[in-house]
Structure 1
Amino acid sequence: MKYIIGTDLGTTSTKSILYSTDGKVVAYSNVEYPLYHDKPDMAEENPEEIWNAVVKTIKSVGEEVDKDQIIGISFSSAMHSLLLLDENNIPLTRVITWADNRAVKYATKLKNSELGQKIYEATGTPIHPMSPLSKLIWLSEENADLLVKSRWIIGIKEYIIYRLTGEMKMEYSIANATGYFNLHTFDWDDQALSLTKATRDQLPELVDTDYTIDHLTSEAAKKINLNQNAAVTMGASDGALSNLGVGADRTGVAAITIGTSGAVRVMSNKPYLDPEGRLFCYYVAKDHWIIGGPVNNGGQVFRWVRDYIYDNESNEEIQNKRDPYDRITKDAANVPIGSHGIIFHPYFSGERAPLWNTDARGSMIGLTTSHTRADIARAVLEGIVLNLNQVLKLTESATKVNEIRATGGFARSTLWRQILTDVIGIPITIPESFESSCLAAAVLGLKAHGEINSIDKVHDMIGNTKEYAPISENHKQYVQVNKIYELVGKQLEPIYHDLAHYQRNLSQEMD
């Protein structure tokens, strides 16, 4: 028997899953780490904390079988991260994540220019502070010396694979999300790069998503307790792999994912570029592209409920080795649709789709003295889903959606599943495998090793699925809630800029 490890480098945790070659889950491990918000627009990770999580999770799942049977590791990773290394390959920065909005001024200027749309049409990456393109423009203007000192300009996946193998590569899927990769030529885009003051020599060699490095360094092999000849397959972005991992790889089938962030994505056999630059278009594998819209605010917002609304009880649950989210969703399930009149917009980290407004801020309207924290918990769940529903409508400009596959940490919650199908008004299918990105990464690895002939084999590995259908009366109620949700959003949008500007000024005064 042979085994492969699928590892997902998420924004707030790393997950590793050990699979047999027929896609059966053998072992699972998850290690969390913080996302640093030292300033309102900052969102960074510590690369050493992520490395330690990778080591711990891979070592943990690998211990379940003889290490001689493990053929390798394949990776999934969050998109849009930026990490600068010096000439000794030591980090000069923390990992600047997709959620970091400090490049807003430069992204807005580029987006409002004719050049912005041209770059989007070349790269498929919407012009937004999330992208490494915007971040590099920001650094070149405000911290040019840092770029001069940088030997490598990469993301977190490239860094982890370098630590494991000693080789510096970047695969097409992650490169496609940088904003300076040309999806037509499969090469770095000179026009976009010229805006950043970065050079081609600072960027890694580009390879396909199934590219495999056939060894580990001796130091890494010891740390993760695998043989040195265990191979590392590059894998792809978490969004790209999530669609593949739930079987949403056919026309008309959308994947809705909520992890720390969230997204609505459809797959196509060729690129699609939105005339208004509102949708991303990223490579997955040969003849596989994902088109869709990302949201900043998914599980991280519900985590806020856990940490600040249910803080004492959550700590007690964790100490007793129980999942604190179970208690919160149990409370929320006892609250009726509409959360007793609370309307929540989940824009804690600005918002990408559907607003593409970095200045957007979270809001909760309708509170009275009769409301409870259970009402707030329900309102947060509903607000996240209502926002995703807006993105689904936007995505349908590319293709009509008639089937939904849902995945991510929220898919574990029966309450969330029902809220989702009731809001969108069509059935959703939940695969047995919740960690779809890990599964799809493993599938890419298995194909690279010759264990399977095609990545379509993933359909045989997804396992059992369960369908949730909307309750007609619930959907009717959510149609009414959605009208208020949209109305409130339109009323708030004009003040987002002033509020965000005020917050930034406060932050500068504190510094």
Structure 2
Amino acid sequence: MEYLLGIDVGTVRTKGILYDSKLQPKKGFRETYPLYRDAKGMAEQEPAEVLAAVEKVINQAYQEVQRNNCDLLAIAFSSENQSLLLLDENFQPISRILTWADTRARLVASRVKRNLIARELYMDTGTPIHPMSPFTKLLWLKEDQPERLKATTYVADIKSYLFHHFFGEFKIDISVASCSGMWNINTRTWDRQALEMTGISTSQLPEIVESTTQAIGLTTRAQKELHVPVQTPFVYGAFGGASSNIGMGAVDASTAAIAIGTSAAVRVITDSPVIDPHQRLFCYTLDNEHWVVGGPLNNGGDVYQWAVNHLVDAKAVTNEKKTPFQLANQIIEGVPAGSHGLIFHPFLGGERAPIWDANARGSFFGLNLLHTRADMLRSVMEGITMNVGSVFEVVRDLVGDPEKIMASGGFTDSEVWRQMLADVIGFPVGVAMAHGGCCLGAATIALKSLGRIDDYAEVKGMLSQPEVYDPDDMAAYTYQKYQPLFNQVEHLLTPAYEAISQLQEK
């Protein structure tokens, strides 16, 4: 039997899943590492800890391959988006990895957004101005840590760092480059204006390669750390969002992908670039034939966990002999759609799409003396979902109505949340039964790299059929009235976000 290893290098964990050549999962592996939040807005990883986790996952997976007397066809990668790592002349880290969740470039991003140049940058790069992007992080470092930036010889992301460690080559796949805010989607080169603003030269950046590009021939050091055959192909793969779409079979504009995990996202793969004139969505290059259009949201399952922690009675959990989440879902089912006229904006961690405002803050709107904790709990889940719905509306406006919607992420563990998503967006939702998401997408890219498939659409026949949730007519009608109000209140509160953010910091 032949195996593929799909690896997803994430924000707090690295996952690996072994698949056979028909993309059927065989065994999974997982290693975690800390996300350092030592200062306000910081969200960093230690490169050595991420590297060690990746190496352990690869070694554990290959041991499984050997136990089954199988061949390892390839190892392919998906990675977190918008990571930034500074390296010295020997490609050694001189910083931690600044992740997408790091918001210390907030003030710099706000300043750039007020400038006319913001629109020009967006039109050229497809990346909205926000603290998440390496572009704005480099602008912030230029102001806040100029000596460190001057000492930087190379600028990497986590994947280009890993591949250099394993193979001694400094390359970046085109999809990750496109997410940086420094890649021009029109000229397909590093963007001149972004380089001038950051003071970074092309010689400091990795060489751009396709997602199907293979690296073969581990360095002597890597051979000692990784116990896989030296000629095993390592495939660069893509960023996590694109990999997830591919893993769900959402590989063209007929299928939209919605993910709600710790954070959330709405994405569609198109055959041409789609740029939003209002700068609400990203447009990233996947390869020469595909682009990924959509919006990432900061606030997903983490906000729901906050609500469960604060709104579910601990005594009730003990008495009912259920987990807090089981009890929360039961409580939510007992509250009607609309939570008796209560709307929650879930911006506890700022927000990316569709408002791209790191200063955004959460709020309850419509709260009165009759509302209960049960109403508040349901309104939190509804608020997260309507926020996803607002991004979905923009995607529909620009790309058109999808024929199919595939959903994935931790929210699918909740029956009531699955149904709520269908009710809020007003479309049938298929819950992806495929195992692995980003890992499966990476393994699919490996199949294309190896010449086993010609087009990503071929994997649709390999995936199990999704469980479909149709909108409930009455609930969908209710949300049709609430969604515009949700959007209106968000618009009205936007001018106050920066002021409340500054007061909170003081």
TM-score, length-scaled by structure 1: 0.89
**Distance change in 2, residues 1:330/1:6 (3 Å):** farther
Residue in structure 2 matched with residue 231 of structure 1 by the alignment: 233
Distance 2:368 2:91 in 1: 54
**Distance change in 2, residues 1:256/1:164 (3 Å):** same
**Distance change in 2, residues 1:90/1:328 (3 Å):** farther
SS state of the match for residue 65, structure 2? coil
Distance 2:222 2:362 in 1: 42
Distance 1:69 1:190 in 2: 45
Residue in structure 2 matched with residue 471 of structure 1 by the alignment: 472
State the one-letter code of the partner of 2:166: L
Unaligned runs of 5+ in 2: none
Residue in structure 2 matched with residue 380 of structure 1 by the alignment: 380
Distance 2:132 2:290 in 1: 23
- Overall identity of the aligned pairs, in %: 40
Residue in structure 2 matched with residue 103 of structure 1 by the alignment: 105
Residue in structure 2 matched with residue 133 of structure 1 by the alignment: 135
> Is contact 1:409–1:434 with CA below 8 Å preserved after alignment?
no
Residue in structure 1 matched with residue 408 of structure 2 by the alignment: 407
Residue in structure 1 matched with residue 48 of structure 2 by the alignment: 48
> Is contact 2:183–2:189 with CA below 8 Å preserved after alignment?
yes
Distance 1:213 1:53 in 2: 20
| Among candidates 211, 214, 233, match of residue 212 of structure 1 | 214
**Distance change in 2, residues 1:437/1:366 (3 Å):** same
Query: Map of 1:407-486 to 2, 5 A cutoff?
Result: 407-486=408-487
Q: Is 1:284–2:292 an aligned residue pair? A: no
Distance 2:311 2:158 in 1: 32
Residue in structure 2 matched with residue 77 of structure 1 by the alignment: 79
Q: State the number of aligned residues.
A: 500
Distance 1:142 1:124 in 2: 26
SS state of the match for residue 64, structure 2? coil
**Distance change in 2, residues 1:294/1:421 (3 Å):** same
SS state of the match for residue 4, structure 1? strand
Q: Is 1:162–2:164 an aligned residue pair? A: yes
Distance 1:235 1:10 in 2: 14
Distance 2:312 2:172 in 1: 41
Shift of 1:237: 0.9
**Distance change in 2, residues 1:325/1:66 (3 Å):** farther
Shift of 1:5: 0.9
Q: Is 1:499–2:500 an aligned residue pair? A: yes
Distance 2:2 2:251 in 1: 27
Residue in structure 1 matched with residue 2 of structure 2 by the alignment: 2
Shift of 1:275: 1.9
Shift of 1:423: 0.7
> Is contact 2:359–2:497 with CA below 8 Å preserved after alignment?
yes
State the one-letter code of the partner of 2:9: L
SS state of the match for residue 399, structure 2? coil
Cα deviation per residue 1:239-261 (whole Å; 9 max; x = unaligned)?
12222222222334211112332
SS state of the match for residue 500, structure 1? helix
Query: Map of 1:226-375 to 2, 5 A cutoff?
Result: 226-305=228-307, 325-326=325-326, 328-339=328-339, 342-365=342-365, 375=375
**Distance change in 2, residues 1:159/1:463 (3 Å):** same
> Is contact 1:43–1:100 with CA below 8 Å preserved after alignment?
yes
> Is contact 2:12–2:32 with CA below 8 Å preserved after alignment?
yes
Distance 2:118 2:57 in 1: 40
**Distance change in 2, residues 1:85/1:414 (3 Å):** same
> Is contact 1:240–1:283 with CA below 8 Å preserved after alignment?
no
> Is contact 2:274–2:399 with CA below 8 Å preserved after alignment?
no
Distance 2:395 2:364 in 1: 26
Cα deviation per residue 1:178-227 (whole Å; 9 max; x = unaligned)?
11111122221122100001122211111111111013345445545423
State the one-letter code of the partner of 2:383: G
Distance 2:463 2:217 in 1: 29
Distance 2:372 2:30 in 1: 32
Greater CA deviation, 272-281 or 369-378? Answer: 369-378
> Is contact 1:329–1:377 with CA below 8 Å preserved after alignment?
no
Unaligned runs of 5+ in 1: 507-511
Cα deviation per residue 1:233-286 (whole Å; 9 max; x = unaligned)?
000111122222222223342111123322112221111222232221111123
Cα deviation per residue 1:348-379 (whole Å; 9 max; x = unaligned)?
22111111222101223466788776655433
Distance 1:70 1:131 in 2: 35
SS state of the match for residue 18, structure 1? strand
**Distance change in 2, residues 1:140/1:312 (3 Å):** farther
TM-score, length-scaled by structure 2: 0.90
**Distance change in 2, residues 1:483/1:115 (3 Å):** closer
Cα deviation per residue 1:428-456 (whole Å; 9 max; x = unaligned)?
11221153221111111122122333322
> Is contact 2:281–2:354 with CA below 8 Å preserved after alignment?
no
SS state of the match for residue 464, structure 1? coil
> Is contact 1:29–1:61 with CA below 8 Å preserved after alignment?
yes
> Is contact 1:270–1:287 with CA below 8 Å preserved after alignment?
yes
> Is contact 1:12–1:260 with CA below 8 Å preserved after alignment?
no
**Distance change in 2, residues 1:66/1:377 (3 Å):** farther
| Among candidates 150, 153, 172, match of residue 174 of structure 2 | 172
Residue in structure 1 matched with residue 23 of structure 2 by the alignment: 23
> Is contact 1:36–1:43 with CA below 8 Å preserved after alignment?
yes
State the one-letter code of the partner of 2:155: I
> Is contact 2:51–2:162 with CA below 8 Å preserved after alignment?
yes
**Distance change in 2, residues 1:466/1:387 (3 Å):** same
SS state of the match for residue 419, structure 2? helix
> Is contact 1:213–1:233 with CA below 8 Å preserved after alignment?
yes
Shift of 1:414: 2.2
Residue in structure 2 matched with residue 144 of structure 1 by the alignment: 146
Cα deviation per residue 1:270-321 (whole Å; 9 max; x = unaligned)?
11222232221111123111111221112332343466667989x99xxx9x
> Is contact 1:8–1:15 with CA below 8 Å preserved after alignment?
yes
Greater CA deviation, 135-144 or 359-368? Answer: 359-368
State the one-letter code of the partner of 2:286: V
